[in-house]
Amino acid sequence: MKADEWAKKIVGGDVRAASRLMRDIDDRMPWVPDVMKALYPHTGRAYIIGITGSPGVGKSTLVDCLIEHYRARDAKIGVVVIDPTSPFTGGAILGDRIRMQRHSTDSGVFIRSLATRGSMGGLSRSTSDILRVMDAMGKDVILLETVGVGQDEVDVVHTAHTSMIVMIPGLGDDIQAIKAGILEIGDIFVINKCERPGVERMEREIMMMLELGGHRDDGWEPAIVKTEAIKGVGVRELMETIVRHRTFRESPEKKRLFLRKALRIELLNNIRDRISQRVLEEVGQEEGLLSAVDEIIAGRKDLYSKSEEILNGILCE
Amino acid sequence: MAVKRRIRVLVAKPGLDGHDRGAKIIARGFRDAGFEVIYTGLHQSPEQIVEAAIQEDVDVIGMSSLAGAHNHLFREVLKLLAERGAADIPVFGGGIIPDEDIPKLKKEGIKEIFTPGTKVEDVVRWVEKTIHPRE
């Protein structure tokens, strides 16, 4: 299929064409950039909400609540859920759809599970491209649920327009995570499972951390919302807070700043990705890479000279 | 240059029985073989299974049935796949399925049926041998 025909199908609502492109993005098929070029003019409209936090805090259940809320207002929803790839086998079990069951046959909801495939930072390498495909499909809101390893999921802040951090009372490591820098990435802090003891203490601790952190560059004061997602408690306040943040960042100047940061990272990632692919072609894929490694181990070359040699091989063409 | 695709499998548990141990063991076996497994949990309707298979662009659907509704459920999934223009996604089944039903199901388009006692490795091997992600 030609790139522009493919893009046209996706924009026209062909679900299968879209999901196949997402697969090809994930599998790094060589024709993907051409289709993305054709799709690009149809993107830039969707509002992206990031949901991050440790495993078991209820991210998927919250996503389910958000879907419900937006569908009641007839918004078209895309959902991207990311789970870890096993570093030992390369396989993954992607089970987040289970919590979103009631929306699985709603034609206004498109859910896609992704495996990290070795990428760090809570997202998969394919995330930004896949979000763009959903955008081109005409999704009004896209919910992006990260892996949930807790401490280093900072990538989401450059991808999502509103980032929420989900925590539960009684898990000491949440506050650890804030210390480690998650503070900067949360526009909204959600204390889920708020029927549990320790909510007030947790709220106080977050507030203290936020105060210690000083003012954010963009002037937004992060909000704290308490929810019990499984019963829908607090979801209305959460939605109102999301609307408030969305309105806050609506000014052309703020939007431009966000876009500039986001695209800078995406452009750099895209270049890096394509160079890596090109390098693998140059050395003869994984096998060639390993024989280069063996050369280094055998002491015939040092790592830096080998790296230069390979790079020169591409650059001199 | 051929890029190798990772196999994506949907493991689904249609129908009303509440026993998903078999499906979970298979899902783990697939993961350990390097597949990406979309696991959708219990009580899936054929509509849900087909929708998930399309949205997730899987290479194959595996269904487990223990309560005797396999004939109806498996057939329904095949029918819906065809209606959605996705008849190219192969389907296999497993669970408690009487011998006399197997040839019938296969004739209708179920690629393989695995009965109790089948080793996980055998199912993995079958998928690796039979399922080829599109070029």
Q: Does residue A120 have a pLDDT over 80?
A: no
The pLDDT tens digits of the residues spanning B83-113 come to 999 999 999 999 888 899 999 999 999 999 9
CB contact under 8 A, B32 and A86: yes
Residues A20, A34, single domain; the answer is: yes
CA of B71, closest CA in chain A: separation in Å?
Answer: 22
Residue A289, class by beta-carbon neighbours within 10 Å (0-12 exposed, 13-18 middle, 19+ buried)?
Answer: middle
The secondary element (H helix, E strand) that includes residue A253 is helix A252-283
For the question of an ipTM over 0.90, the answer is yes
The secondary element (H helix, E strand) that includes residue B47 is helix B46-55
DSSP letter string, A104-155: TT-TTEEEEEEE-TT--TTS-TTHHHHHHHHHHTT-SEEEEE----SS---T
Q: What pLDDT shows up at residue B1? A: 41
Cα angle B8, B9, B13 (rounded to 5 degrees) comes to: 155
A155 located within any domain: yes
Q: Provide mean pLDDT across the span A114-129.
A: 79
**Residue A86 CB-half CA count within 13 A:** 17
The pLDDT tens digits of the residues spanning A36-82 come to 999 999 999 999 999 988 888 899 999 999 999 999 999 999 999 99
The answer to whether A63 and A143 have CB atoms below 8 angstroms apart is yes
Q: Which residues of A touch B36 (CB under 8 A)?
A: 85, 91-92, 94, 115
**Residue B77 CB-half CA count within 13 A:** 36
Residues A5, A109, single domain; the answer is: no
Count, residues in chain B: 135
Last residue within a domain, chosen from A196, A217, A250: A250
Question: What is the DSSP code (8-state) at residue A84?
Answer: P
The pLDDT tens digits of the residues spanning A23-37 come to 999 998 989 999 999
Residues A234, A311, single domain; the answer is: no
Residues A200, A70, single domain; the answer is: yes
The answer to whether A207 and A175 have CB atoms below 8 angstroms apart is no
Looking up residue A219, the CATH number of its domain turns out to be 3.40.50.300
The pLDDT tens digits of the residues spanning A265-307 come to 889 888 888 888 888 888 888 888 999 999 999 999 999 999 9
Q: Provide mean pLDDT across the span A16-26.
A: 96
CA of B97, closest CA in chain A: separation in Å?
Answer: 25
* Percent of chain A scoring above 90 in pLDDT: 54
Q: What pLDDT shows up at residue A272? A: 86
Q: What pLDDT shows up at residue B77? A: 96
Q: Mean pLDDT: which of A174-178, A189-193, A281-285 is highest? A: A189-193
Residues A80, A216, single domain; the answer is: yes
Cα angle A206, A210, A213 (rounded to 5 degrees) comes to: 140
CA of B46, closest CA in chain A: separation in Å?
Answer: 10
Confidence of residue A178 (pLDDT cuts 50, 70, 90): low
Name the token pair of A250.
């609506």
* Cβ–Cβ contact A170 with B under 8 A: no
Residues A233, A185, single domain; the answer is: yes
CB contact under 8 A, A27 and B34: no
All residue ranges of chain B with pLDDT < 50 are 1-2
Q: A21 or A153: whose pLDDT is higher?
A: A21
Residues A16, A162, single domain; the answer is: no
Q: Provide mean pLDDT across the span A144-165.
A: 77
Residues A106, A19, single domain; the answer is: no
Taking residue A251's Cβ as centre, other Cβ atoms within 10 Å add up to 10
Query: CA A266, CA A269: separation in Å to the nearest integer?
Result: 5
A179 located within any domain: yes
A65 located within any domain: yes
For the ranges A160-164, A221-225, A227-231, A285-289, which has the lowest average pLDDT? A285-289
Q: Does residue A151 have a pLDDT over 60?
A: no
Query: CA A176, CA A173: separation in Å to the nearest integer?
Result: 5
Alpha-carbon separation of residue B65 from A225, B18, B120 (angstroms)? 42, 10, 16
Closest to A224 (Cα-Cα) out of A82, A215, A214, A211: A211
> What SS3 class is residue B27?
helix
Query: CA A264, CA A261: separation in Å to the nearest integer?
Result: 5
Name the token pair of A238.
């959460």
Residues A116, A238, single domain; the answer is: yes
- Within 42-71 of A, beta carbons closer than 8 Å to B belong to none
Last residue within a domain, chosen from A198, A219, A250: A250
Q: Say whether domain B8-129 belongs to CATH 3.30.1180.10.
A: no
CB contact under 8 A, A92 and B27: no
A117 phi/psi in degrees, rounded to 5: 45, 45
Residues A142, A71, single domain; the answer is: yes
Exposed e or buried b per residue across B39-69, where buried means at least 16 C-beta atoms within 10 angstroms of its C-beta: bbbbebbbebbbbbbbbbbbbbbbbbbbeee
Name the token pair of B116.
């109790």
Q: What is the average pLDDT score of chain A?
A: 88
Name the token pair of A7.
């893009």
| CA torsion angle A66 A144 B27 A65 (round to 10) | -10
Size of interface A-B (CB pairs under 8 A): 89
Q: Residue A11's domain spans which residues?
A: 1-42
Q: Which residues of A touch B54 (CB under 8 A)?
A: 15-16, 19
Closest to B65 (Cα-Cα) out of B35, B97, B26: B97
Taking residue A180's Cβ as centre, other Cβ atoms within 10 Å add up to 13
Exposed e or buried b per residue across A199-222, where buried means at least 16 C-beta atoms within 10 angstroms of its C-beta: beebbeebeebbeeeeeeeeebeb
Which residue in A has a C-alpha nearest to residue B31's C-alpha? A91
A256 located within any domain: no
Count, residues in chain A: 317
A144 located within any domain: yes
Residues A54, A33, single domain; the answer is: no
Q: A207 or B37: whose pLDDT is higher?
A: B37
A191 located within any domain: yes
Query: CA A201, CA B85: separation in Å to the nearest integer?
Result: 54
Q: Which of B31, B45, B54 sits opposite A89 (nearest CB)?
A: B31
Q: What pLDDT shows up at residue A155? A: 72
A255 located within any domain: no
A259 located within any domain: no
Number of domains in chain A: 3
